[in-house]
Chain A
Amino acid sequence: MKQPVFSAQNLTKTYTSGEVEVRALRGVDLEIQAGEVVVLLGPSGSGKSTLLNIMGGIDHATSGRLLFGTQELTALGDRGLTAYRRRHVGFVFQFYNLVPSLTAYENVALVTEIADRPMRPEEALALVGLEARMAHFPAQLSGGEQQRVAIARAIAKRPEVLLCDEPTGALDSKTGILVIDALLSANVELGATTLIITHNASIQDVADRVLFFADGKIARIQKNKARRKAAGLSW
């Protein structure tokens, strides 16, 4: 059987925020195959982002095991996780998280400079249809454009996994569809396993599988027979 890209066993995470202790993940078991598009749905605080952050190597699990291929991410230290992110992961965040003092081109170059076999920044920007806006600073771009720069930045390193936390959350529906389209083409072109967190139920149709989260657990998994094209979405 083909080795899954991710396999999680009894993954838990407890946050201490201020004086409050929050159990964000209460034991998650999961396998994700290469090239899959997975949508994570669920109410706020159900643990979607926490799982994504741990898979992306930007947060540590409190207990349990998480494998990336054969590599155990939960056993890696800071240095190992940094190398993992650098080689394998592309992130897209809800609020874009662009560096305001860098242009669109330079924001992408920020990643290509440290990646092993990146595409050229203009190539990545062309993939999201922003080749004409390369010299603009984030403040000169619309929300959708900023998010597409963030996608270009995420895919420019040709990542094996693309992790997207509410990529359309701050966008109107028309722009949101453009962004989803950009993500799906990256999935097809690069074969990157793509995980998308969303509050928007209509996006689930573009996925191979949909994970429904509740109370820090995966409540159920839905398998779609066919992936819908982004153009066919509406909300």
Chain B
Amino acid sequence: MRVLDIKLFRDLRRLWPLVLAVALVIAGGASTLLMSVGSYRSLDETRAAYYERYRFADVFASVSRAPKTLVRQISEIPGVAAVDVRIATLALLDIPNFPEPATGQFISVPDGGGQLLNQLHIRAGRMPEPARAEEVVINESFATAHAFTPGARFSAILNGRKRELVVVGLALSPEFVYSIGPGDIMPDDRRFGIVWMSEKALASAYDLEGAFSSVNLKLLRGASEREVIKRLDALLDRYGGRAAYGRKDQTSHAWLNHEFDMLRNMSRTLPPIFLLVGAFLVNLTLSRIITLEREQIGLLKAMGYGNFAVAAHYIKFITAIVVIGIAIGSSAGTWLGIYITGLFGEFFRFPFLVYSYSPDVYLMATSLSVAAAIAGGVGALREVIKLAPAVAMQPPAPARFRHFLPPKFAINRILSQPTMMMLRNIASHPFRSAFTMLGMALATAILIVSLFTRDTMEQLVDVTYFMADRQDATISFRDKRPRDRVIDEVRHLPGVLAAEPYRAVPALIRNGNMERRLAISGRPRDADLSRIIDTDLRIVTLPESGLAISSMLGQILQVQVGDFVEVDLLEGQRRSVSLPVTALVEDYFGLRGMMDAQALARLMREAPAVNSVHFSLDAHKLDVLYDAIKRLPAVSGMALQRDSLANFRESVALLITTMASIYTLLAAIIAFGVVYSSARISLSERSRELASLRVLGFTRGEVFRILLLELGFLVIVAQPLGWVFGYDLAWLMQTRLAGELMRVRLVVMDSTYVLASVIVLVSAFLSALIVRERVNRLDLVAVLKTRD
């Protein structure tokens, strides 16, 4: 091995804490990239493989009742590759030892052979036997929530008749990766389950022999989904068809898409920030390390080593640090990526996981880090190499220090000498000080951007559950029902304190060529349980006519209050109308349209009708109430706000905060790396000065304070700047994470700023403690012996 390489290894070993600190900064950046891109890609590929293998449909539609003879006509629609018809219906479930009413999404499975589309992955047990009307397969998460295994029993109210069912299998389906019950905004596996049973049994329960109520299509590659949907709607119209829709509007797929979009956007927003911050810090640190090597560089040149050989030696040194950083970052990033993929995979209950670690991500992380590090090192190297060896071997000329104020000013006498030293030191290296401060500010900023999601989640919970939707429960009906009768029924239920009826009509809302499918909900004028909150977080009352829409929808359609939108009602007479937008609503889940119930009834040209009722209830009478609801024939499900909130915290919030915690940890490591390397290099740069002070009689503590003063000053001054950067980055994150299914309002609480700064200050304190050891070991004799 060449002697220069031996020197390289020894230098790396001698400087290991510093090398490790810089490597950790690189590792922090690289691992965020590998973790987030890796897990996103793995999950995306897993989903694609799952859909492919289990033949997830492309187009979905439901009808009241259509004859199976229609299948031939549907399959003749150009672009259709496969048609799968079945019976699908919602029914209340009665589960032993579970008082709350649960809902089952019943789906028929063909008795003769397998399903053509949306095939099941059986996790335990078997499919139902054709002749056994009581046998069912249920989705695994529902089974887990109730500890059901094959052989377990529960009841369902099918078409008004209670039937006992036996679980014979547990399954997963690409159609229900996300299963959300009627009236709910979050999955609740205890109160919503998918139940597959023999077609013959389900058909006989609902008098649908020879008929179907749900149709799924697989399209040929390149087929026009829009065209197929148009033709399918035309065919199904006379059978009570509700508008068909594509994957984009399929609940499970849309939620999955939203989650994946969030992951993807996170992977495109945070890692670049981390990587760039890391690169900047590495650049800064390495340029200072190289500057410290000035004398050795001069010596090597004096001995006859050429510029190229000297540069190559130090580039090797820099590369070694980057390689260490990348090695740590790759292992940690890969491990975290697998962990996150597993976490989400378990949450979504994918039957298998595909881990995707394409080399391009590693290459990207490596090349960016190497480039940043070399850019930092080479800039400084060029400065040093430019010097004649004789000059390089001399310590640099004393920096030009200046008076802040003319010497006669009293401030010069008020401040202590160490404070003056600190201030002049900062002023005489303005760029270095500014960059160090910037580095520390960025450390605070990436902490804020990692931590702020907690705040936005709390704000979401506050607005959604405590300001807007304050009802205790919602019951939904399978079909629309006359308003007055429903109100009468519900008011007489035990424990109901107040009730508000709602009508939901599926609709297409359009402005120009932008359109979205949603449900317009008709609200009672004096609604008090469920309120409309506008973007200024004020409660608004709807005017008699016009439409209130989610502010997100307003952005998508590019409409303001007062503008008109085209609305195609997708039920009843399917009228198309033009409505004014009367309010933009602050909401965080889905795209919604709301209007006065009477105005909606007029638009629909129908008598007042409802699909669901919100109500507040007396918590002491829950059990009686649940029993009564289970006996109501037309109810398809009941949603409880309390459970919904708990589920939100358990699922979505958990995933987001897990991600945020990992990012916070990585940000804290970066913050520590920055502060430590900065302190350590300051010590090297000033070791002669500090040792001289010791020779003059300063104590270790005093010398340590002089060193810390500058670092402490920069760390503290950096904080407000870090808060500003942090807020801006959080804004960027929030904007990029906003989706049609879920979004957040940017809220950064004071406690988040404080926590981010505390983490940076604690890092500073810990690195100071480590550096203190070295201050104590300053070699006083060496200072006297060597020249200056």
A: residues with CB less than 8 A from B are 17-19, 53, 56, 58-60, 78-79, 82-83, 85-87, 89, 91, 93-95, 97, 99, 101-102, 106, 109-111, 113-115, 143, 153, 157, 170
Contact = CB atoms under 8 A, between A and B. Distances in A.
Interface string B725-754: 000000000000000000000000000000
B14 to A, nearest CB: 6
Nearest to A86: B304
Contacts of A78: 307
Contacts of A60: 388
B10 interface: yes
A150 to B, nearest CB: 10
Interface in B520-541: none
A18 B398 contact: yes
A113 B3 contact: yes
A106 B6 contact: yes
Given A58-B390, A102-B6, A110-B7, 10 more contacts: A19-B400, A56-B390, A58-B302, A85-B301, A99-B7, A106-B3, A110-B303, A114-B303, A114-B305, A157-B304
B304 A87 contact: yes
A79 B385 CA distance: 12
A17 B400 CA distance: 10
5 contacts: A58-B388, A59-B388, A59-B390, A111-B304, A114-B304
Given A82-B306, A86-B304, A99-B7, A18 B2 contact: no
B403 interface: no
Given A82-B301, A102-B10, A111-B304, A97 B400 contact: no
Interface of B: 2-4, 6-7, 10-11, 14, 295-296, 298-307, 309, 388-391, 393, 397-398, 400, 785-787
Contacts of B2: 113
A17 B397 contact: yes
B306 A101 contact: no
A18 B397 contact: yes
A17 B304 CA distance: 25
Contact of B400 (A18, A83, A110): A18
A82 B304 contact: yes
Contacts of A87: 304
Interface residue SS majority, chain B: helix
A94 B398 contact: no
A101 B787 contact: no
A102 B3 contact: yes
A25 to B, nearest CB: 13
Question: A-B pairs with the 5 shortest C-beta distances?
Answer: A86-B304, A101-B10, A58-B389, A59-B390, A53-B390
B302 A110 contact: no
Contacts of A79: 306-307
Contacts of A53: 388, 390
A87 B785 CA distance: 31
Nearest to B392: A58
A91 B303 contact: yes
A83 B305 CA distance: 8
Given A82-B305, A91-B302, A59 B389 contact: yes
Contacts of A99: 7, 296, 299
B16 to A, nearest CB: 12
A50 B80 CA distance: 90
Given A53-B390, A59-B389, A97-B295, A110 B3 contact: yes
A97 B388 contact: no
Given A78-B307, A82-B305, A110 B295 contact: no
Contacts of B300: 110
A219 to B, nearest CB: 23
Given A94-B787, A95-B786, A102-B6, A111 B303 contact: yes
Contacts of B400: 18-19
Given A19-B400, A60-B388, A102 B7 contact: yes
A56 B11 CA distance: 28
A85 B304 contact: yes
Contacts of A91: 302-303
Contacts of A17: 397
Given A59-B390, A59-B391, A110-B3, A97 B304 contact: no
Contacts of A109: 3
B312 to A, nearest CB: 13
A113 B295 CA distance: 20
Nearest to A59: B390
A9 to B, nearest CB: 21
A83 B393 CA distance: 19
A88 to B, nearest CB: 9
Nearest to A99: B7
A139 B3 CA distance: 18
Given A101-B11, A102-B7, A106-B3, A85 B388 contact: no
B304 A56 contact: no
A78 B310 CA distance: 13
Nearest to B399: A18
A176 to B, nearest CB: 15
Contact of A82 (B299, B307, B785, B786): B307
Contacts of A83: 304, 306
A99 B14 CA distance: 13
A151 B504 CA distance: 95
B299 A97 contact: yes
Contacts of B785: 95, 143, 170
B290 to A, nearest CB: 16
A10 to B, nearest CB: 20
A97 to B, nearest CB: 5
Contacts of B7: 99, 101-102, 106, 110
Nearest to A53: B390
A91 B299 CA distance: 10
A59 B785 CA distance: 25
A106 B298 CA distance: 18
A136 B305 CA distance: 24
B3 A58 contact: no
B1 to A, nearest CB: 10
